[in-house]
Structure 1
Amino acid sequence: MSGLGISAIYFLDQKGKIIISRDYRGEVSSSITEKFQRKVLELDERLIKPVFTEKDITYMWIRVNNIYIVSVAKGNPNVALVFTFLYKMKDVFCDYFKELEDESLRDNFVITYELLDEMMDHGYPQITEVKVLKEYIKTEANKMQKMTSEQQKKENQKISQAMTNIVSWRPEGIKHSKNEIFLDVIEKLNLLVSANGNVLRSEILGTVRMKSFLSGMPELKLGLNDKALFDMTGRTSKGKLVEMEDIKFHQCVRLNRFEAERNITFIPPDGEFELMTYRLDTQVKPLIWVECAVENFTRSKIEYVVKAKTQFKSKSIANNVEIYVSVPTDVDSPVFKSNVGTVKYVPDQNCMVWCIKQFPGRKEYHMRAQFGFPSIEAEERQKYSRVPIQVKFEIPYFTVSGIQVRYLKIQEKSGYQALPWVRYITQNGDYQIRMQ
């Protein structure tokens, strides 16, 4: 943290009064809360800042429900790291208390102080994984359960292992009756297309999620059709290679190995977690193309002809397709006719929604809609035409970028065999087509 740690953390109520605080270094006085009130609580919302400096003290804060979590540090701390810790701490408290609020903090102040001490030491983040923290900070600890000396010895040993283990996100001794790992590659397509079909913006945001049910301390190695890896090793590939940007990994991935060799190696947390995210700036033709023509636009009615067609392979199917088409604010008496799916008018959103449960590839469907107008014309009736058509969908067993899991190797000293299950999904992101 640029050589400087967090001096103290304060949990404040809506009036700026301290609910709970933890001073890690004895560098600041409790009067800092008065400065926070002056800089945040008493100012207009448009003027407040999540980071500000008063003399040599830097204030960094977030708001959760009815409380403020404020961290202070002397000098010039790593602000991004501090905010990462604050949000991670919020997640831990929510996991323990279900809701992080004024009342839940006051009801659980003992556990709160224990968590604050275990998650940070002398102002530096330590253990932030809930599963590891729950190994030795249990909500049931208030029940005064008596332990035998042998049980106490085992418990102390488990705590010691968790504290000294460099794999802080995974405790020792995990056992599963059936060793399995599930991997989901989920891509969201952000797309903006002009009415004549020109792609104005195209972006793919990818996420690799895992559900790990593996015993012991397994070492995993994931191989993708990563262009940079093949370029680095001088290898060629008959299949498609993808060039990923802005790659971000879970803390379990060995970054030095990835930077040196482009190998994704890691010891996974137990259960569900997000292994990595990535982005691709690439021109992608619309997977679902929608055209909307307006006919018979008179003072008494307006008619739409909507055509939708899929532009991906016929073996794939888009599920739960929803096409949102804007209509004038003052329409009434809707009448719909379509050769597939259902259409509904959503007056509070000033649009009609065409819902198609399953839309196979290389197919084209049509829909007609008619609306009436009241006798008095509304202002800005033409405004609807400036709102783009929005499309929602999900295509299983398909990735728009062409990314593939080439292998997922699992090694564990006990030598068990585990079968990885891989699933691909493409979803809409901000997917818009401008109307004619």
Structure 2
Amino acid sequence: MFGISSIYILDQKGRVLITRQYRNELPMNIHETFNKKLLEFDEYTQKPVMIDKDGYTYIFIRHNNLIFMTVCSQNANCLMIFSFLFRLVQVLQEYFVNVEEESIRDNFVVVYELLDEMLDNGYPQTTEFKILKEFIKTESFQLKEKKQPEQTNFNVVALVSNKISWRKEGIKYKKNEVFLDVIEKLNMLIGQQGNVIKSEIIGQVQVKCMLSGMPELKLGLNDKAFFEAQGRQSRARAVEFDDIKFHQCVRLSKFENERVIQFTPPDGDFELISYRLDIRVKPLFSVDVLIERKSATKIEFLVKAKSNFKPKSTANNVEIFVPVPDDAEQPQFRTAHGSVNYMPDKEAMCWSIKQFGGQRDFMMNAVFHLPTIVSPNRDKFQKMPINITFEIPYFTVSGFQVRYLKIQDKSGYNALPWVRYITQNGEYQIRMN
């Protein structure tokens, strides 16, 4: 397996912003060949991996108005390179927040230093931001701590050579705590009759670690495979994960053999787990819209929104976007709950409800006037879906549950774990009826 021969950061017109050669085996103008290859495809037929007649392999991703492209002269591990490119973008976001053409131009020195540290002879090395910031200390991104060159260099070497490279030793807190946020986003498409056409749950476990020393954590979930491996049956709902991804700190062998998540966490904020569940769930919200054309110049909407989750839960900041004719004007709204605003730029009205309790239903009435000259797209709104945004604290739609979180450290201090559950909307749409 061969690594990356060179890496390019190009603008949206294919002009070179940053280039780094790791092996002197490529023509200097090879990016021009890549640009010509791009022109052979449109946005629907374009492929992220391309090979030219000379046997060079181009692997690239797009981010905002930039193209991150690598060239390999011989057979290479494409998945490794894609993983590196996405990780490179994440690291740049940690430094610049917005990774765009302007931020690359303004910080080209830092970008070159990152490329030198993250790749060695074309092979990925250190990609952890917290370690890289120990290496790279330019004037623009100085750390707040006092300069201690000899000690810092020693720590950096120890971190990279240590098997736990994502956490440095000597971390101390007066109060030892760890916070877990289980955040689930529900993608759902509901048909005109209220039937579920598509439902998908995208979840993640975000951790904020404020623990001293080098603690060892064990996390137990209501994992269906765990109960089956133990020959046990759980009274609570068990979750069967379709796709699960861990932070590098998790011991994968432990999870594969025992279905136990054991890890030494990085310090601060990080994503411990991301997962996807392709399961059918009952819609959290249903919306019925009755449309009545009072005359050629007047249309009325009667909107009924209902929550289908348990009464003990409450959704916050609910916004229901109902499509209206693109030439609608002079809106008049009437509702006993929340407020309604007309949003011409989105061709919709937005019904905002600050708190929406479970098993509740609310009504809203809207009247719009229409011009006598009919817009050619006046009836297009009936084919557009209703969109809903919301957030439900202390609730997971999948039934995901943290069964326990054990914290162990050689010093034997007591630590407090905190767990919070949140369900949010992903792409939650209901077709107009």
- Number of the residue aligned with 1:236: 233
Q: Distance in 1 between matches of 2:392 and 2:10?
A: 46
Tell me the amino acid that sits aligned with residue 392 of structure 1: T
Instruction: State the 1:250 CA deviation.
Output: 1.6
Instruction: Tell me if 1:162 matches 2:159.
Output: yes
Distance 2:101 2:379 in 1: 49
Q: Deviations over 1:322-363 (max 9, x none)?
A: 111111122222111111100111112111111100011121
> CA shift at 1:96, angstroms?
3.4
- CA distance in 2 between counterparts of 1:39 and 1:388 reads 38
**Per-residue deviation, 1:116:** 2.2
Residue equivalent to 1:10: 8
Residue of 269, 274, 277 corresponding to 2:271: 274
**Residue 217 of structure 2 is aligned with which of 208, 215, 220?**
220
Q: 1:330 aligns with which of 321, 327, 333?
A: 327
CA pair 88-306 structure 1, distance change in 2 beyond 3 A: same
Instruction: Name the counterpart of 1:382.
Output: 379
Give TM-score scaled by structure 2 length. Answer: 0.90
- 1:412 lines up with 2:405 in the alignment: no
Task: After superposition, give the CA deviation of every residue in 1:77-112 in whole Å (9 maximum; x if it has no partner).
Answer: 122221221222233234335565667656655544
- Whether the aligned pair in 2 keeps the contact of 1:335 and 1:370 (CA below 8 Å) is yes
Separation in 1 of the partners of 2:279 and 2:359?
22
Equivalent residue letter for 1:286: P
Letter in 2 for 1:232: A
Contact 1:96/1:139, CA 8 A, preserved across alignment? no
Of 365, 380, 389, the residue aligned with 2:362 is 365
Q: Specify the code of the residue in structure 2 equivalent to 1:71.
A: T
SS of 2:312's partner is coil
Q: Which amino acid aligns with 1:60?
A: I
Mapping of residues 16-35 of structure 1, within 5 Å: 20-35=18-33
Find the aligned partners of 1:121 and 1:341 in 2 and give their Cα distance.
Answer: 58
1:75-90 aligned at under 5 Å gives the runs 75-90=74-89
Residue 423 of structure 1 deviates from its aligned partner by 0.5
Give a deviation string over 1:283-325, Cα, whole Å, max 9, x none.
Answer: 2121112111123442121111111121111111110111111
Unaligned regions of 5+ residues in structure 2, if any?
A: none
User: What secondary structure, in the 3-state scheme, does the structure 1 residue paired with 2:295 have?
Assistant: coil
**Structure 1 residues 201 and 105, CA, compared in 2 at 3 Å: closer, same or farther?**
closer
Alpha-carbon distance in 2 for matches of 1:154, 1:370: 71
Conserved 8 A contact 2:4-2:72: yes
2:94 is aligned with 1:95: yes
Report 1:63-82 matches (<5 A): 63=62, 68-82=67-81
Is 1:425 the equivalent of 2:422? Answer: yes
Q: How does 1:29-428 map to 2 (within 5 A)?
A: 29-40=27-38, 46=43, 49-54=47-52, 55-63=54-62, 68-97=67-96, 100=99, 111-140=110-139, 152-428=149-425
> In 2, distance between residues paired with 1:298 and 1:254?
67
Percent identical? 55
Note closer, same or farther for the CA distance 1:361–1:140 as it changes in structure 2 (3 Å cut).
Answer: same
- Measure the CA separation in 2 of the matches of 1:184 and 1:160: 33
Cα gap change, 1:6 to 1:335, in 2 (>3 Å): same
Q: Is the contact between residue 39 and residue 48 of structure 1 (CA under 8 Å) also seen in structure 2? A: no
C-alpha distance in 2 between matches for 1:99 and 1:432: 29
What's the TM-score, normalizing by structure 1?
0.90
Aligned partners of 1:172 and 1:216 also within 8 Å: yes
Equivalent AA in structure 1 for residue 394 of structure 2: Y
Mapped to 2, the partners of 1:314 and 1:21 lie a distance apart of 58
**1:262 Cα offset (Å):** 1.1
Look up the equivalent residue of 1:125 and give its one-letter code: P
Q: For this pair of structures, how many residues does the alignment match?
A: 428
Q: Closer, same or farther in 2 for the Cα pair 1:239/1:348, shift >3 Å?
A: same
Preserved CA contact (<8 Å) 1:161 1:172: no
Q: Are the equivalent residues in 2 in contact too, given 1:408–1:420 (CA < 8 A)? A: yes
Does 355-364 or 282-291 show the bigger shift? 282-291
State the shift of 1:126 in Å: 0.9
Q: Cα RMSD (Å) of the superposition?
A: 2.6
Q: Say whether the 8 Å CA contact 2:131–2:156 is kept in structure 1.
A: no
Give distance in 1, aligned partners of 2:13 and 2:346: 37
Q: SS where residue 22 of structure 1 aligns?
A: strand
Q: Is the 8 A contact 2:118 2:127 kept in 1?
A: yes
AA at the equivalent of 1:251: Q
Deviates more, 1:98-107 or 1:255-264: 98-107
Instruction: Please tell me whether the aligned partners of residues 299 and 377 of structure 1 are also in contact (alpha carbons under 8 angstroms).
Output: no
Task: Supply the AA of the counterpart residue of 2:7.
Answer: I
Partners of 1:266 and 1:14 in 2: how far apart? 41
User: Match of 2:36, as an amino acid?
Assistant: R
SS at match of 1:383: helix
> Aligned letter for 1:22?
R
Q: Indicate how the Cα distance of structure 1 residues 346 and 18 shifts in structure 2: closer, same or farther if over 3 A, else same.
A: closer
SS for the counterpart of 1:368 is strand
Whether the 8 Å CA contact 1:4–1:77 is kept in 2: the answer is yes
Letter in 2 for 1:33: H
**Structure 2 CA distance for partners of 1:138 and 1:197, relative to 1, 3 Å:** same
Structure 1 pair 273–289 and aligned structure 2 pair: CA distance change class (3 A)? same
Deviation at 1:420?
Answer: 1.0
Distance 1:201 1:68, change over 3 A: closer
Contact 1:170 1:270 in 2 (8 A): yes
Does the 8 A contact of 1:245 with 1:279 survive in 2?
yes
Matching residue's letter, 1:321: V
Residues 280/297 of structure 1: CA separation in 2 closer, same or farther (3 Å cut): farther
Residue 89 of structure 2 aligns with an amino acid whose one-letter code is K
SS of the equivalent of 2:131 reads helix
One-letter code of the match for 1:242?
Answer: V
